[in-house]
Structure 1
């Protein structure tokens, strides 16, 4: 009687879950399709499949079953009876795509590491399936694996906590997931991630005294952005003569007439310093997360680094800082810089937080700072900013030095009523992109109370005053470059 009951229960279990659960499910080959404005990966639906997760890397093989640069778990198949994930990121023809797939089939989970796919070959007309079959490095019969496969499953993500991070308008799957990384290996900037800004700063009340051009370098695993004088220290160089027209290279944001060309006359001069500024605006943006930058900051009078998060869209208005700016790390790079009352605000002090006002006297209201005995340009440090739905938290070398709480609309002093229509973190409740660079001088970041400052912020001849003092400050540029080891962004 007991044997009959057990047998009946077993047959009932088979009838409920299906005979496939007794057999080993095999994940089908992933299909990659190149779209006009992105790409799609998919597998066909089969009976018993309950959900599917895709993890995709560009140009970086997986070391384990770890989160990819693009990751998402799909809960329902599409209308074509396929489990599909789409990204708006356009692939480059020299990209190599790595994919692993996680499938829940009835109550069992299966994982499969797919062969790499060369996008150039796909663009030249070969089908993805043919490319995989012809790849001599992988045997497709061995690509389907269960959790018993030799690749490790990172326990931090196997049972992940739900994330609040948004990337390219999609919710990231797991808290702690690495969603962006560049280690600056190779000899050239990865243009699928970064773009140069080639422009003059707008002539606003805090414009820097620079021209942003394409003079960043990669060497020994470091990004190096080093500022130079106009004319590369030629003794006959004169910023009051000549003209500048960037032409088709110009990447003007708002006013091409002012950002792309300059003809010196009167108080208008050419930019005293040529430097570089790069960003991920075209490729990567996110809302809420933790950004980490390991860098050696510039060392020299009147320089400052740009380690920024900037708004993807000026959602709260076009006025400067109406949509906010976040500073992962900011430093006035002078070796010695004091105010009239003796306060040291030079390179031994690091700042981080938010900029929400144009005027220099309001610049530090939403920033926190800490100081060290040595200049922050003497060695590499790791700077991070954790951006949540309630605050901005700042760290250097994994030590927290301050928190900036949200509720900025309450402290806006009537300057941006638009923030009242947003969330508690407005204007920091939209997607932002990463900016890296070096700047010099300007009207906003060096207060007029600085001792020996050669220009005043309100002077129409500020850039010319700065240039005339170059024999004094240029000799202090012992290590003027920003050197970046890596940039990483994690979901929270």
Structure 2
């Protein structure tokens, strides 16, 4: 899916002021043979998009650009590109954009000698192809890959939702079999809890900022079941919830089957957050569906089988501009899961894959 990201003139002007300030505060580290009283002149900038052709005017999808900068009397160059400040003494370097889609970015360039400088700006249009940056296809039978997944264990005092399960990493509760991750909730007395299940997460192993996260899954059956696929702020240990932010891509409860919830939690919008929408996924317990979110600095969009049903407007004031890690879990009961069917014995949440794209 292509995304156009245009920076308005006011935004460019603000970046220029910041850039010039940072340039002026730098010292001269090279070019001692050039007198410090010689101001740079004749600044030129050439931006070459890798793979640019008549058929692909915005490049080959790699997102790579090559910059060639020159100026008389210059000892150092600074470039502000994609809100990143880069330095070069040669004036030649490459940069790789990672946000998928076709976007227009300002490129602000300064050449300086001591405290004297000259600046200019240009714009680059670039296409970045979508690619997988992390995934688990669950193709090897046995326990989940320990290099990708860890576990939250125990009852967590109800995990803040009065949930009933005790989370384990036992094979009875979690295993890979026949190309599927299977998380099974079981009614049993275990460590003082009435049910067991699993909550697995990539914390400390993988996190990302912006992109698309998706799961292909078949949901469990039964009143009180509560499967989920979600993202949590990687800074949770220093910025406690909800300050770290939470992006719920998939939540569903067995007491209201085939209804899919997508929600966001942030300061002042925890608990019964107003930032939530629902849609339906017919036969969600007998068929696999793809549940996904596409996340950028501007928005977070939620999909079921690539059908968009909720768009949240992101901004610099939300927690949703930092790294997040991935969680898959299967809870029982609680504030959201509701009453458990007294005839419940066990149910399985099946996951075909989890993929994260740039």
Higher share in strand: 2
Shift of 1:377: 1.4
Q: Which runs of 5+ in 2 are unaligned?
A: 1-49, 51-59, 68-94, 101-126
Separation in 2 of the partners of 1:483 and 1:395? 19
Give the match for residue 334 of structure 2: 442
Shift of 1:163: 2.2
Separation in 1 of the partners of 2:146 and 2:320? 27
Alignment of 1:30-429 (within 5 A): 162-164=97-99, 174-188=128-142, 189-203=144-158, 205-214=160-169, 215-231=173-189, 244=191, 270-314=192-236, 317-318=239-240, 320-334=241-255, 346-356=256-266, 362-372=271-281, 374-407=282-315, 423-424=316-317, 426-429=318-321
Shift of 1:273: 1.0
The answer as to whether partners of 1:289 and 1:387 remain within 8 angstroms in 2 is yes
Shift of the 329–203 alpha-carbon distance from structure 1 to 2, 3 Å rule, reads closer
Larger radius of gyration: 1
Give the match for residue 113 of structure 1: none
Separation in 2 of the partners of 1:202 and 1:176? 40
Shift of 1:66: 10
Higher relative contact order (CA 8 A, sep 6+): 2
State TM-score, norm by structure 2. 0.60
Shift of 1:295: 0.6
Separation in 1 of the partners of 2:307 and 2:128? 24
Separation in 1 of the partners of 2:66 and 2:245? 34
Task: State the secondary structure of the residue aligned to 1:474.
Answer: coil
State TM-score, norm by structure 1. 0.45
Shift of 1:287: 0.6
Count of residues in correspondence between the two structures: 245
Give the match for residue 131 of structure 1: none
Shift of the 428–359 alpha-carbon distance from structure 1 to 2, 3 Å rule, reads closer
Shift of 1:332: 1.0
Which portions of structure 1, spanning 4 or more consecutive aligned residues, are displaced by more than 6 angstroms?
71-75, 357-360
Higher share in helix: 1
Shift of the 207–301 alpha-carbon distance from structure 1 to 2, 3 Å rule, reads same
The answer as to whether partners of 2:234 and 2:325 remain within 8 angstroms in 1 is yes
